[in-house]
Amino acid sequence: MAATKPTLTGRAIFLLLTTGFLGFPIQAKYGGGVGTLENPYLIFTAEHLKTVATEPDDWNKHFRLMADVDLEDSAGGMSHFLGELERPFTGTFDGNAHTISHFTCIRPDADNVGLFGYVLGIDAQIKNLGLIDPNVHTETGDQVGALVGRLQEGTVTCCYVRGGRVSGHQMVGGLVGRNHGTVINCFVEGGTVSGDYYVGGLVGHAHSGSIIECHAASRVMGYYRVGGLIGSNRAAAIVRCRTEGSTSNGAPIGGLVGQNISGAITDCYATGAVAGRGAGGLVGDNSGTLLRCHATGGITGGGGGLVGTNDGTVADCYATGGVSGSGHVGGLAGRNHDHGVIRNCHATGAVRSDGTAGGLTGFSSGLIANSCASGAVTGGDTTGGLAGLTINGLCVNCYSTGDVTGQRYTGGLIGLLNGKLSHCYAVGRVKGTEDAGGLVGNGGSQSVEDCFWDIQTSEQTAGVNGDGRTTAQLQTSHTFLAAGWDFIGETTNGVEDIWWILEGEDYPRLYWELGEDR
């Protein structure tokens, strides 16, 4: 009878792996694993995590968290964080849907402070990890975040922070202090984030890279470049992000981003209140691109419902929150500068200022096209239903419907016009102490072409600019077609289809107001 080949049972294999071939125990590192991507080191306890922080030779390895870890009861807490400038973290850390609670790091003068101090490498990744009630603080240090101090390269995916406190000097974020990599599907809820410069609810400073489908709902405070999501953004792509918390004190300050320089912000919104000089419901200071974004929170201290100051492009955006303060105040933008473009936008919130006020923008020296405003406007000198003051700017295919109350230079559309106005109208009631007009309060150096105001609703029967018409006349397409306005269904005045009208029932509306079903 042939001999049978011996086989190893499951129990025999287990004994070999745990006792060795000679019967001596094998000491597993951390909680098991060998640190490869296929067989990562396993982290079960606070002691395992603390050990990783003191083993820089392992910061290029791969880890997986196997249980929720609470560092509050761990003797001495964590005296180090994972990854430093000289020895960055370049591996992967999979939180495996677990949490780390009460991570505390008080380093008065340290830079790159966070659970992961410095992360480098395009393959570096932190994912599926939650931090509960962290306490991260530095007095003079830069690049401070609860999860990552500086993400130089790599990806942070599906991570979050709930509660806690993060504070530092500059580039301070609720999740990441400074980002050059990619942050996807992450959020910060509750807690406070505070600092001096570049302070954000999620990221303090984003320099290139991208932040996608993230949100923040925390209290954010700072002095310069402060944002509900990002304090300062330079050339990074921000896509489908939102904020819900309050933002205060800084300048420039925004509900989503404090300052956006050459960055593209797309399909984002902010709902929280914003308080500060030159504040914006979405962005405080914009020289990049805002596309299909909106803001609904109230603004105090001056600025705009969407943007405090615009030197870039704002397209297909809107704001609904009320705006109040001093200086140049607008329902959408406080100031629209020379290179600023506002196109296909609208604002509905009430605007109040002791200075220049406009239903869409307080001041403009740039382009405003195919846009409208409907909120009531109250201001001092230079107050308008669409813009308070324009200097060398162009306003084309726009209208305003809100009531306007001001002092000198009060207009249904523009308070003080020094620029060009074409194919626009205004219908709101106008009340001013000096130089009040249904369309323009004072013409200055200007050019007005084919523009109208309602002499009945405005209670202004005479004006130096534009043509006054009755309500019935302004609810008839013939009035506008005769002036060369481009309406849907006609080709004599162009084929762009800029305007449409419910004949005899309403004033002309912009084509994009028909919505996606047009």
Q: How far is Cα 444 from Cα 448, in angstroms, rounded to an integer?
A: 11
Instruction: Encode burial over 64-98: b for 16+ CB neighbours within 10 A, e otherwise.
Output: bbbeebbbeebeebbeebbbbeeebbbbbbbbbeb
User: How many of the other CB atoms lie within 10 Å of CB of 433?
Assistant: 13
Confidence of residue 265 (pLDDT cuts 50, 70, 90): very high
CATH of domain 31-272: 2.160.20.110
Measured between alpha carbons, how far is 402 from 382 in angstroms, rounded to an integer?
Answer: 16
| CB contact set of 275 (below 8 Å; sequence gap of 6+) | 246, 247, 248, 249, 253, 299, 300, 301
**Whole-number Å distance between alpha carbons of 296 and 411:** 26
Lowest mean pLDDT among 57-61, 250-254, 403-407: 250-254
For residue 61, is pLDDT > 60?
A: yes
How many CA atoms within 13 Å lie on the side-chain side of 333?
34
Residues 6+ apart with CB under 8 A from 482: none
pLDDT digits (tens, 9 = 90+) for 280-309: 999 999 999 999 999 999 999 999 999 999
* Phi, psi (rounded to 5 degrees) for 499: -120, 160
Provide the percentage of residues in the chain whose pLDDT is more than 70.
92
The CA distance from 478 to 470, in Å, is 13
- CA distances in angstroms from 193 to 206, 283, 289, 339, 346, listed in the order given: 16, 18, 26, 33, 32
Identity of residue 319: A
Taking phi over 0 as left and psi of -120 to 50 as alpha, with beta for the rest, 497 belongs to: left
Say if residue 517's pLDDT is above 60: no
- The torsion defined by the Cα of 325, 327, 332 and 338, in degrees rounded to 10, comes to -160
Q: Which of 145, 139, 69, 79 is nearest to 110 (CA)?
A: 139
Give the DSSP H/E element, type plus range, for residue 350: none
- Spatial neighbors of 376 by CB under 8 A, at least 6 apart, are 350, 351, 402, 403, 404, 405, 428
Question: What tens digit of pLDDT does each residue of 202-258 get?
Answer: 999 999 899 999 999 999 999 999 999 999 999 999 999 999 877 777 678 999 999
DSSP string, 45-101: SHHHHHHHHT-GGGTTSEEEE-S-EE-TTSTT--SS-B--SSS-B-SEEEEEEEEEE
pLDDT in tens, 356-400: 999 999 999 999 999 999 999 999 999 999 999 999 999 999 999
* Distance (Å, whole) CA 285 – CA 123: 33
